[in-house]
Chain A
Amino acid sequence: MASSLYVHIPFCAHICGYCDFTKVIYNEEWAFSYTKSLLKQLKETKIESKLKTIYVGGGTPSSLPSSLLEEILKELQPLLGEEYEFSFEGNPENLTEEKLLLLKKYGVNRLSIGIQSSKNKYLNLMGRAHSFEEGKKAVELAKRIGFVNISVDLIYGLPNETLEELQDDIDNILSLGTPHISTYCLSVPSGTAWKNKGYEEMDDDLAASQYELILKCLREKGFRRYEVSNFALEGYESKHNLVYWKDEEYYAVGLGASGFTNGERFTFTKNLTSYINNDYEGERERLTRKDMVEEYFLTNLRLEEGFKKMDFMEKFGIEEFADYIPHIEYLKKQGLIEETDDSIFATDKGILLLDRVLLELFE
């Protein structure tokens, strides 16, 4: 049974060239109607027990005005149990003191702040609306108000970015002193402004070197890469995101939001007009056994700790596990995964080549 909830706020003050999440430019009228429709959808969602995690993501949730934010937070807070993680995403340019205090008031205890880079030339290129200095101020402000569990993003693999620039970037990001850092290699999905402009993704060889640099620097500072792209000091892993990577179920509300309940994955409509008219339905996929096994690998192997063999066998049976042994042996021989008495996990090399590991495991 699900005990996590994802809430999607699609509005952004402006659109970044590389983003392929469901988003729209902020508009007061839409934001008002959207909030109403979102809360209606939340009310209709049959949440059966107290939640352990809530994640408000986007878009840019902090682009909403305080009044609408408060309406939403007010409804979310009572859903939480005693022990919880309540995350909220925001961008430096609109994470104001007023909004931070509001978040604090309604129990938000984890912030994810979109810093992306410490280089203003790259921030400009990406079309971000903030400088690194503003990002730094936002983090300081959040800390001052009492937020401890803060995550920042770092994007690498930028056009013509050198290893020296990245090293400097890592140092600057580390200097913010947050206990969680997400690092993403820039991808240029089709349909984004960058793709249309002809930007290319960094050559995998260079991107691998950049990733390895990040891994080395962050490990030196005591961070653990608990997932492909996520680093945390002990105890600061994102509990909500771990739900995805442990292939557990979760509720979702919002435009284009995806959820996973009762063995069914679904994504609500990405059409804002439909959503505002309370027409939420999008796509639904009832998972077959094959889907479930594939998704189990796809998610769990992203974690540095991999998965417990017992857990797999409890879910899918010992025979299913036996079927995979030859493939597991093959991958072990290639140095892509390792096996201990109770776990199977990807090696450093295997994590970088996870798609190939998964292709071997997919039937």
Chain B
Amino acid sequence: MSFEKKYIRNFCVIAHIDHGKSTICDRILENTGAVEKRNLGTQMLDEMDLEQERGITIKLNAVTVSFKSKDGNEYVFNLIDTPGHVDFTYEVSRSLAACEGALLVVDATQGVQAQTLANVYLAVDNDLMILPVVNKIDLPSANIPLAYKEIENKIGLSTADVSLVSGKTGVGINDMLEKVVELVPPPGGDSEGPLQALIFDSYYNSYRGVVVLIRVKNGRVKVGDKIRLMQSGKSYLVTEVGIRTPKEMPTNSLECGEVGYLTAAIKDIKDVFPGETITLEEGGAEEPLPGYRKINPMVYCGLYPVDSQKYMDLKDALEKLSLNDSSLSFEPESSKALGFGFRVGFLGLLHMDVIQERLEREYNLNLILTAPSVKYRVNLTNGETITIDNPSAMPEPQKISSIEEPYVLASIMTPKDYVGAIMQLCQDKRGIYQDLIYFDDTRETLKYLIPLSEIIFNFFDRLKSVSRGYASLDYTLEGFRQSDLAKMDIYLNGDIIDALSTVVYKKSAYSRGLAIVSKLKEIIPKQQFEVPLQAAINGKVIARTDIKSVRKDVLAKCYGGDISRKKKLLEKQKEGKKRMKAIGSVEVPQDAFMALLSIDDDGE
């Protein structure tokens, strides 16, 4: 299958979470007649259940459809879906790089959000033609003039070509697609040049190996070609190419400008990072396409089965999940408190959440997650530098000359009124002021360098609370910087619980120690004996509280009708007890280990 390049349009949809991207994508599929209405789930492109439930797109996807324009020609649209969360910025940028245009969806009831802007910048970086789309115009609270104003002032786009649509009712979708034909440029590139194909996504299929989604930038690729991944240097024989409609449809070749899939008996998804360039083994391109970046996990946590018998099940499940998720990494680790488990690396907290839920739901595992940590660089007195992603692996203090931690550049867009409160929050979180960018009469963007560890420690919730939900956050990794840090240990009933160790900023160690022990006191149920809880640095106790012993735990009234009810309650409690981990003689609920995340660091 081969189309003339001038009839191809490659574009994606950019939107803030909840602004209706998936609904619009579904409407596009309907209007192009690619899939009939009855075959549509609620939101076609979000394949995973979890994505549908959370209303967010996690993995990218692409689909090829045809559109009959009023100019009489039939066009091929390649619609490339993008994930909508800060954890996945790089993946978004790679899928944008596969397009020439982007539909920018703005919610008519909410205006332009910071996350949208971040992706607009990405689109601009990739030289995309941006077509503004104002969605949800059917809602009574829609404010179209405001949306226009924001598109002009905040994004700096002309409103001449704005499409007014309702993803819900389908109004305006067809006109929007005509604009795609008219304004999004057809793909460029040299059909006869050496092959350069951009990988923007991949997934695992147990029969065919890794299925790679590509955009052919130059040249062509066909079955039987010997290809080479330019960054990893690995070579493969192409076994299948085709397009997704969204069902996979094999074709003979993929031509310059086209978007489709390719299989080549690639066994490990970790060999095909998004952003890689595919070329031919013989007569290939000299240079890879620009923009490749190896994605590394930013956040690490320990994952342990509550029932230690389930260690192998957890291992299998992680292996299966990582087949389809090249950004998920894991290594075995062990904890005195929790037994055998894994240290798992994630792109961010959302990614961590999603993986945890999938493990619990799809693999029926009962898990304990330890508090997430970042990677620290520890410079030792002997001149060596080591990197640790688990606080309990921190060397003894006398061996450490300095500790460096990752910083991110955070962009926080907020209505003016909250700038003061947010600056205070950023200061509290050890932020280093970079810039305050005036946006319009009402909004500004704050830029701060902030330790990543502070971002994962309750930053987002605090930001939402000081800005009444108005501020939004985007961040990118900036680099490592030296900080005054120390490992803080938690003692439960006199024993160190290694899984609760954290690396803290020394100046806030006292208040954080107190906050942690107080929080644990709330979470750990009373035992039959008093349980001391202490936070210590270098063996020195800096905060202490005691869990009092329980003295009364009995139902006052138990007459005829109460017996069944009480029995059921106790059975339920017994189930809950199974979800607790016995550490020494103390029963600790699963969520105690994550409690460190949800505390306020002002010690309250």
Give chain A's interface residues, CB within 8 Å of chain B.
Answer: 6, 184-185, 187, 204-205, 207-209, 211, 228-229, 241, 244-245, 250, 252, 256-260, 265, 267, 285, 291, 294-295, 298-299, 302, 334, 351-356, 358-359, 362-363
* B:309-358 near A, CB below 8 Å: none
Residue ID in chain B nearest A258 by CB atoms? B561
Residues of A within 8 Å of B554, CB to CB, are 228, 351-355
Q: What 1/0 flags go to B539-574 for Cβ under 8 Å of A?
A: 000000000101111111111110110110011011
Could you tell me the distance in whole angstroms from the C-beta of A27 to the nearest C-beta in chain B? Answer: 23
The answer to whether B552 touches A353, judged by C-beta atoms less than 8 angstroms apart, is yes
A294-B570, A334-B528 known; A355+B555 contact, CB < 8 A: yes
Q: Complex Cα distance A208/B548, Å?
A: 13
Taking a contact as CB atoms closer than 8 A, the residue among A256, A295, A356 that contacts B553 in the complex is A356
- What are 8 of the A-B contact pairs (CB < 8 Å)? A204-B550, A208-B552, A245-B558, A258-B561, A299-B558, A351-B554, A356-B528, A363-B574
**Do the beta carbons of B561 and A298 come within 8 Å of each other?**
no
B443 part of interface (Cβ distance < 8 Å):
no
| Contact (Cβ within 8 A) A302 B558 | yes
Contacts of A258 in B (CB 8 A): 560-561, 563-564
A362-B570 contact given A244-B563, A353-B528, CB 8 Å threshold: yes
Known: A294-B567, A298-B567. Contact between A205 and B551, CB under 8 A?
yes
Report whether B560 and A244 are in contact in the complex, using a CB–CB cutoff of 8 Å: yes
Considering residues B552, B561, B563, B567, which has the most beta carbons from chain A within 10 angstroms of its beta carbon?
B552
B526 interface residue per 8 A CB criterion: yes
Chain B residues with a Cβ under 8 A of chain A: 526, 528, 548, 550-561, 563-564, 566-567, 570-571, 573-574, 577
Task: List A contacts of B526 (CB < 8 A).
Answer: 204
A131 to B556, CA, bound (A): 24
Q: How far is the CA of A352 from the CA of B551 in the complex (A)?
A: 7
With both chains docked as a complex, state the minimum distance between the C-beta of B578 and any C-beta of chain A, in angstroms. Answer: 11
Residue of B528, B554, B566, B567 contacting most chain A CB atoms (<10 Å):
B554
Establish whether residues A208 and B564, one from each chain, have CB atoms under 8 Å apart when the complex forms: no
Closest 4 CB pairs of A and B: A258-B561, A208-B551, A208-B552, A354-B554
Which residue of A is nearest B555, CB measured? A355
Q: Min CB distance, B272 to chain A, in Å?
A: 50
Chain A residues positioned under 8 Å from B563 (CB to CB): 244, 258, 260, 265, 295, 298-299
Chain A residues lying within 8 Å of B548, measured Cβ to Cβ, are: 205
Question: Bound state CA distance, A299 and B567, in angstroms?
Answer: 10
The docked-state distance in angstroms from the alpha carbon of A353 to that of B527 is: 11
For the complex, what is the distance from the CA of A358 to the CA of B566, rounded to whole Å? Answer: 11
Which chain A residue shows the least CB distance to B557?
A: A184
* Pairwise interchain contact A228-B558, C-beta atoms closer than 8 A: yes
Q: A207-B552, A354-B555 are in contact. List 14 more A-B contacts (CB 8 A).
A: A209-B551, A211-B552, A228-B555, A241-B559, A244-B560, A257-B560, A257-B561, A265-B563, A294-B571, A302-B558, A334-B528, A353-B528, A353-B551, A359-B574
Please, which residues of chain B bring their CB within 8 A of the CB of A250? 560
Q: Across the interface, which residues of B come within 8 angstroms of A245, CB to CB? A: 558
Most A Cβ at <10 Å: residue of B550, B561, B566, B571: B561
Tell me the complex Cα distance, A85–B555, Å. Answer: 26
Query: How far apart sit A351 and B462, CA to CA, in the bound complex (Å)?
Result: 45
In the complex, the chain B residue whose C-beta lies closest to that of A335 is B528
How far apart are the CA atoms of A133 and B350 in the complex, in Å? 64
Distance A295 CA – B562 CA, assembled complex (angstroms)? 11
Are B551 and A256 interface neighbours, CB within 8 A? no
Q: How far, in whole Å, are A207 and B550 apart by their CA atoms in the complex?
A: 11
Chain B residues whose C-beta falls within 8 Å of the C-beta of A265 in the assembled complex: 563-564
Question: Cβ of B561: which chain A residues have Cβ within 8 Å of it?
Answer: 256-258, 267
Q: List the A side residues contacting B559 at CB < 8 Å.
A: 241, 244
Nearest chain B CB to A101's CB is how many angstroms away?
Answer: 28
Specify which of B528, B553, B560, B564 is in contact with A354 (CB 8 Å cutoff). B553
Asked if B560 and A252 make an inter-chain contact with CB atoms under 8 angstroms apart, the answer reads yes
Q: Which of B553, B558, B567 contacts A353 (CB 8 A)?
A: B553
Instruction: Among A207, A352, A359, point to the contact of B577 (Cβ < 8 A).
Output: A359
| Cα–Cα, bound, A356→B550 (Å) | 10
Complex Cα distance, B548 from A252, in Å, reads: 43
* Distance in angstroms between the alpha carbons of A88 and B557 in the assembled complex: 18
Residue of B nearest to A227 (CB): B558
- State in angstroms the CA–CA spacing of A216 and B553 once bound together: 19
User: Which of B528, B551, B559 counts the most A-chain CB atoms under 10 A from its CB?
Assistant: B551
A6 to B570, CA, bound (A): 25
Report the separation of the CA atoms of residues A351 and B553 in the bound assembly, to the nearest whole angstrom. 9
**Which chain B residues lie closer than 8 Å to A291 at the CB level?**
567
How far, in angstroms, from A363 to B550 measured CA to CA in the complex?
22
List of A residues within 8 angstroms of B573 by Cβ: 355, 359
Chain A residues whose CB sits within 8 angstroms of the CB of B553 once the complex forms: 204, 352-356
Complex CA gap A299/B564 in Å reads 11
In the complex, the answer to whether B574 meets A185 with C-beta atoms within 8 Å is no
Q: Shortest beta-carbon distance, B387 to chain A, in Å?
A: 45
Report how far A241 CA is from B558 CA in the complex, Å: 9
Q: Across the two chains, which residue of chain B brings its CB closest to A266?
A: B564
- Which B-chain residue is minimally distant from A346 (CB atoms)? B554
Min CB gap B40→A, angstroms: 42
Min distance, Cβ B590 to any Cβ of chain A, angstroms: 18
* Residues on A with beta carbons closer than 8 Å to the beta carbon of B556: 184-185, 187, 228-229
Measured CA separation A209–B551 after assembly (Å): 9
Q: Does B557 lie within 8 Å of A229, measured CB to CB?
A: yes
A353 to B528, CA, bound (A): 9
CB distance from A74 to the nearest CB of B (A): 24
Taking a contact as CB atoms closer than 8 A, the residue among A6, A207, A302, A363 that contacts B560 in the complex is: A6
B550 CB contacts on chain A under 8 angstroms: 204, 353, 356
* Complex: chain A residue closest to B529, CB-CB: A334
Q: Are B558 and A244 in contact (CB under 8 A)?
A: yes
Q: Is the CB of B558 within 8 A of A359?
A: no
- Docked Cα-Cα span, A57 to B553, in Å, equals 26
